[in-house]
Every structure is written in structure tokens, then in C-alpha cells.
Structure 1
């Protein structure tokens, strides 16, 4: 598993990418999907996830839908039209960042 210091700056684009690729997701589902896709190397805690989700909801990037399951309420997050533009920007930014890190840590890869 990667350290929290290493993954902290990538949580926002990871969450946005997952939400963009699906119709809607709830918090626990997001954490489990990240674990599954990264084979357990990235573990998003609730303490790391929900502040990001709430901030994006407040900014209009995400909207929520409450679904009642028995006596429990599940809050689903969905990308807004405004959020689609933000996602495109964040995905471009993270891809550029990965390429830049490759220049530093794996320069031979780019030369081949």
C-alpha cells in the first residue's frame, strides 16, 4: 500500500475519474472500487474521501441523490455538467504530471 503522503494529491482526480466512468456511486463503493482497481495499493479512508466529496458538491462539481434502503439512507454522488469540464482538466493535469514524473524517475522509458 502506498503512503498517505504519496496518494494525497491524487485522490481528487481518482475520485473524479471513477465518478465520470459511472452513472453514480456512493462513498463506500468508491473506496472499494479504488482498492479493487489498484489491487489494494491505494486505500482511501472515509476521512480522506468525504471532505473531498463534500467540497466538490459545494463547488457544483457533484450533485447528490439520497436513496432509502430500508431504514438507511445511501447518498449517491453524480457528476454535474460543470463537473465534466473540471474532470477533463484534472485528468489532463494528472496525465501531464505522470509524464513529468517519468522524466525524473524513468527517463529511459521516454527515450525508447
Structure 2
């Protein structure tokens, strides 16, 4: 499992990309999908996921709808049109950042 600090910056692009690929999902389903896809190395806690979902809803990046499932109300999330554009940008930025980090980690410091 990765530290909370590492996950904080990458959770948004992970979430947006997952919704782009899968369409409509509810919170617990998102947590389980990321856990499975990351071979249990990324474990999203509710305290991290739901504030992000609410912020993305407020920004108009996500749209939510409530559905009744087995007598319970479940909130499902999907990307808005703005969210589709934001996903592309967020994923590209993360990929560029990861490539830069790799470059920095592989570069040997020059002696002074």
C-alpha cells in the first residue's frame, strides 16, 4: 500500500480515467476496482474518495444520480462533458509527471 501523501496527487486522474473507461460507478465499486487493478497496492479510503467526489461534483466534472438497489439508495457517478475534457488533461499531466520523476530518479547527480 502506498502512503496517503503519494496517493493524494494521483487519486483524481485515477478516478477520472476509471470513470472514462467504465462509465457509471458508485463509490464502493470505485474503491474495489482500483484495489483490484492495482493488485491491492492502491487502497482508497472513504475519507479520501468521498471528499474528492463531492469536489468534482461541485466543479461540474462529475454528474451523480441516485438509484434504488436492493432497497437501498446508491449514488452513481459519471463524467460530464467537462469531465471528459478534464480527464484527458489530468491523465496527460500525470503521465508527463511520472516520466519526469523517472528521469530525475535515473539521472546521476554531477559531482561539484
TM-score by length of structure 2 reads: 0.92
How many residues matched? 108
Q: Which residue of 2 aligns with 1:17?
A: 17
- Deviation, structure 1 residue 107: 4.3
Deviation at 1:74, TM superposition (A): 0.7
Contiguous gaps of at least 5 residues in structure 2: none
- Unmatched 5+ stretches in structure 1: none
Partner of 1:26: 26
Runs of 4+ aligned residues of structure 1 deviating over 4 Å after TM superposition are none
Secondary structure at the aligned position of 1:2 is classed as coil
Question: Normalising to structure 1: TM-score of the pair?
Answer: 0.92
Alignment of 1:64-75 (within 5 A): 64-75=64-75
For residues 74 and 97 of structure 2, the distance between their equivalents in structure 1, rounded to whole angstroms, comes to 34
Deviation at residue 106 of structure 1 after TM alignment: 2.9
Partner residue in 1 for 2:87: 87
Q: Residue 50 of structure 1 aligns to a residue in which SS?
A: helix
Larger radius of gyration: 2
Within the alignment, does 1:52 sit opposite 2:49 as a pair?
no
